[in-house]
């Protein structure tokens, strides 16, 4: 499909005028740089741009270098359905509200495209979950999720009764609105709204979060990524109505007919769950790849990524995103102080005991003291501390 030419697949939220305009800008700029651009056939008419039309499906991203997504996290989750089978990284331009998955803002669109052209981006692997549904011992559905798989009550159910399991052992039964099985990526999505913890994406774990459970033990749980989680649907009582002569209807006092639940994966794929259904969740075999932009002039490749991570810490970008998205207060933060490393031996000279020599080395029998520090009462202290004591 690509004839050896660098190819980008573009996915957009065509219901938003800003997304359509941004998509046309991206197509024109990529084409001018010599790259081939594809768009999904259902979106082509709304986008009105010169690009190759491809049917939506696993082949849409085959051979694509990157999938650029213009919209919110929901659009990116939709694009993941075509990018994941092809192993193509997703680069999101956020037009939504929070946008934890999206990397760039529309104001930086030109720079974003230029970095894609220059290959100034790194690729992150995001853990997924594989989900199977069983009824009477037979598998009836197989699906997956990037954020979460949720067993939820249907609209007519007053309360859903489930029992949970970890690695073949029963954990707890709950009367609840549902249960969320989430990835670290999904910890800032539905699981976060249900009171679950925020988990940095570099952490490999499974989250089990009950929704509005009527129980003393209903805390969110973080579980090994090697574990298998299961949720068994006992059922729920439908909200029945009983006629009341002359006054219409009122809710029935009985439990009513037992009804099932529904499984939602990333809010996009659903499976009906009759009473007795079993949902199993385990770490996904195939991850989702996300492209993260580098600053102009930075090197690409694994070595550069490791060097950057060693300086700032692998969790620093997500920390910054968390602070920015939620407007977290960081007033008063002073940051990490520069480490006091000893200088090479060639730069050191001897000094009287108890006094720091130039280069930070004390005379034999004395403590090694860095420049700007001194020894007071047997302790190495800033040079100004001893002076301040004398002034006092």
Sorted by where each starts, the structural domains of the chain and their CATH numbers stand as 7-125+288-300 (3.40.50.10330), 129-242+249-283 (2.60.200.30), 345-391 (no CATH)
Q: Which of 378, 376, 351, 362 is nearest to 386 (CA)?
A: 376
Q: Which residues share a beta bridge with 335?
A: none
Q: What is the pLDDT of residue 303?
A: 43
3-state secondary structure 164-199: EEECCEEEEEEEECEEEEECCHHHHCHHHHCCCCCC
Contact yes or no for 102/93 (Cβ under 8 A): yes
Band of residue 96 on the pLDDT scale cut at 50, 70, 90 = confident
Q: What is the pLDDT of residue 344?
A: 58
C-alpha 30: how far from chain center: 27
Rounded to the nearest integer, the mean pLDDT of the chain is 83
Mean pLDDT of 251-263: 69
R_g (Cα) of the chain, nearest Å: 29
Instruction: Name the DSSP letter for residue 293.
Output: E
Mean pLDDT of 47-68: 95
Q: What is the pLDDT of residue 243?
A: 45
Q: Residues 6 or more apart from 157 whose CB is under 8 A from it?
A: 236, 237, 238, 239, 259, 261
Q: What is the pLDDT of residue 298?
A: 42
Q: What is the pLDDT of residue 47?
A: 95
Q: Residue 195 pLDDT > 60, yes or no?
A: yes
Give the whole-angstrom CA distance, residue 43 versus residue 54. Answer: 10
Mean pLDDT of 44-61: 94
Mean pLDDT of 97-113: 87
Catalytic hit among 3, 28, 73, 347: 73
Q: Residue 310 pLDDT > 80, yes or no?
A: no
What tokens were used for 123?
A: 């690729």
Q: Residue 381 pLDDT > 60, yes or no?
A: no
Q: Which residues share a beta bridge with 161?
A: 175, 235
Question: Which helix (H) or strand (E) is 22 found in, with range?
Answer: helix 17-32
Give tens-digit pLDDT for 170-190: 999 999 999 999 999 999 999
Instruction: Name the DSSP letter for residue 23.
Output: H
Mean pLDDT of 253-277: 86
Give yes or no: 108 in active site. Answer: no
Give tens-digit pLDDT for 311-367: 445 567 889 889 988 899 999 999 887 655 565 555 544 444 444 444 444 444 444
Mean pLDDT of 208-228: 96
Q: Residue 103 pLDDT > 80, yes or no?
A: yes
Give tens-digit pLDDT for 137-157: 999 999 999 999 999 999 877
Band of residue 244 on the pLDDT scale cut at 50, 70, 90 = very low
Q: What is the pLDDT of residue 378?
A: 57
Give the whole-angstrom CA distance, residue 337 versus residue 55. Answer: 54
Instruction: Name the DSSP letter for residue 147.
Output: S
Give the whole-angstrom CA distance, residue 132 versus residue 1. Answer: 33
Mean pLDDT of 215-239: 91
């Amino acid at each position: 499909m690509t004839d050896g030419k660098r190819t980008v697949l573009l996915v957009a939220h065509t219901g938003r005028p800003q997304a359509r305009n941004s998509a046309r800008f991206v197509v024109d700029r990529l084409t001018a740089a010599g790259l081939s651009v594809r768009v999904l056939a259902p979106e082509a008419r709304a986008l009105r741009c010169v690009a190759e039309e491809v049917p939506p499906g696993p082949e849409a991203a085959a051979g694509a270098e990157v999938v650029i997504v213009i919209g919110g996290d929901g659009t990116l989750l939709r694009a993941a359905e075509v990018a994941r089978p092809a192993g193509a990284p997703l680069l999101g331009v956020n037009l939504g509200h929070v946008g934890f998955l999206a990397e760039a803002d529309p104001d930086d669109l030109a720079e974003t495209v230029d970095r894609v052209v220059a290959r100034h981006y790194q690729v992150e692997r995001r853990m997924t979950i594989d989900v199977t549904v069983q009824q009477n011992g037979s598998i009836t559905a197989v699906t997956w999720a990037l954020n979460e798989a949720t067993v939820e009550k249907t609209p007519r159910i007053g309360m859903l009764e489930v029992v949970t399991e970890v690695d073949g052992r029963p954990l707890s039964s709950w009367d609840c609105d549902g249960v969320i099985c989430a990835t670290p990526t999904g910890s800032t999505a539905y699981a976060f709204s249900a009171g679950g913890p925020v988990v940095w994406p570099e952490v490999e774990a499974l989250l089990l979060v009950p929704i509005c459970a009527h129980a003393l033990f209903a805390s969110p749980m973080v579980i090994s990524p090697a574990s298998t989680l299961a949720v068994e649907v006992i059922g729920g009582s439908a909200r029945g109505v009983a006629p009341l002569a002359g006054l219409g209807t009122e809710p029935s006092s009985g439990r009513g007919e037992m009804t099932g639940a529904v499984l939602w994966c990333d809010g996009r794929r659903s499976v009906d769950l009759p009473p007795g259904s079993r949902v199993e969740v385990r770490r996904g075999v195939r991850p989702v790849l996300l492209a993260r932009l580098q600053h102009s002039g930075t090197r690409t490749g694994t070595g550069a990524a490791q060097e950057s991570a060693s300086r700032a810490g692998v969790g620093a970008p997500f920390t910054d995103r968390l602070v920015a998205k939620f407007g977290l207060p960081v007033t008063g933060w002073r940051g990490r102080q520069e480490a006091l490393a000893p200088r090479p031996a060639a730069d050191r000279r001897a000094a009287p005991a108890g006094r720091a020599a130039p280069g930070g080395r004390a005379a034999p029998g004395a403590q090694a003291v860095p420049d700007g520090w001194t020894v007071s009462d047997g302790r190495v202290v800033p040079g100004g501390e001893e002076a301040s004591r004398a002034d006092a």
